[in-house]
Amino acid sequence: MRVALVLRSGGDFDASHIARLCRQVTDYLPGAQIFCLSDVEVPCPRIELRYDWPGWWSKMELFRPDIGGDLLFMDLDTSIVGTLDGIAAVDRLTVLSDFYWPTTGRIQSSLMFIPERDRQEIWDAWIADPSRHMRECVTQEMWGDQGFLGQFWQGRAQRWQDVLPGQVVSYKCHVREKTRSDKEFGDGTLPENARVVIFHGKPRPWENGW
């Protein structure tokens, strides 16, 4: 399994967060081939970022035609807490449903299995006008990279929550003590079947000892 990470310098993340996630992936998916798209040195094989797309938009370089093979991508504020055998067995395009709005069909891009065959269409559409896509993907319904990807994948990509129920959870929705009764369900403990915890924003995992 090829595991892809992305680090754009100048933001909240640095090479230490690559090292942290590499350790966790290696512990729970021995033999994984990890690489990172980055503009700085990292403690794993690196592919140079070619474009100056800011922040999460750097993830769009995952779709470059020169990057071959099927990819398991995860955001850097992800924590691996159990075996990834089930996740590694997936062989179809798979993304997350939005944790807070799961019935809308919106996707969440923190953890994605992206077969090579599903990437060219995305790249062709994106590279035609990246600036326009970044300008337009700023609404709640179409937010950021996942808003752009959702135009192609809603109704087409299977969802981790359906394929492996309970294995991929949100820190905010399923782990920490709930702060709102309608969207959060945690009691401060890790759900029994959890394998991956998605933080999707603040707090970051290392701020809470993860």
CATH number reported for the structural domain that contains residue 100 in this entry: 3.90.550.10
Whether residue 195 is contained in a domain is answered as no
52 burial type by CB count under 10 A (0-12 exposed, 13-18 middle, 19+ buried)? exposed
Provide DSSP, 139-172.
Answer: SSSSBHHHHHHHHHHTTTSEEHHHHSTTTEEEII
Q: By the 8 A CB rule, do 101 and 93 touch? A: no
Identify the domain containing residue 124 by its residue range.
2-77+87-166
Whether residue 44 is contained in a domain is answered as yes
Whether residue 70 is contained in a domain is answered as yes
Whether residue 114 is contained in a domain is answered as yes
187 burial type by CB count under 10 A (0-12 exposed, 13-18 middle, 19+ buried)? exposed
Looking at residue 11, its pLDDT comes to 87
Q: What is the pLDDT of residues 100-155, one digit of tens each?
A: 888 888 999 999 999 999 999 999 999 999 999 999 998 777 889 999 999 999 99
Residues of the chain with pLDDT under 70: 180-182
Whether residue 207 is contained in a domain is answered as no
Q: By the 8 A CB rule, do 72 and 3 touch? A: yes
The neighbour count for residue 194, using CB atoms within 10 Å, is 18
| Total domains present in the chain | 1
Calpha distance 191→186 (Å, rounded): 8
Whether residue 40 is contained in a domain is answered as yes
For residue 112, which of 146, 137, 81, 82 has the smallest C-alpha distance? 146
Looking at residue 181, its pLDDT comes to 64
For residue 204, which of 18, 6, 4, 13 has the smallest C-alpha distance? 13
Which long-range contacts does 201-206 make (Cβ < 8 Å, 24+ apart)?
201/77, 201/172, 203/171, 204/12, 204/77, 205/77, 205/78, 205/79, 205/171, 206/17, 206/20
Looking at residue 40, its pLDDT comes to 98
Looking at residue 114, its pLDDT comes to 99
Q: Return the CA Rg of the chain.
A: 16
DSSP label at 138?
Answer: B
Tokens 């990437």 label which residue?
A: 119
85 torsion bin: left (phi>0), alpha (psi -120 to 50), beta (else): alpha
Looking at residue 194, its pLDDT comes to 97
Looking at residue 138, its pLDDT comes to 87
Whether residue 193 is contained in a domain is answered as no
Whether residue 197 is contained in a domain is answered as no
Residue 94, φ and ψ in degrees, nearest 5: -140, 130
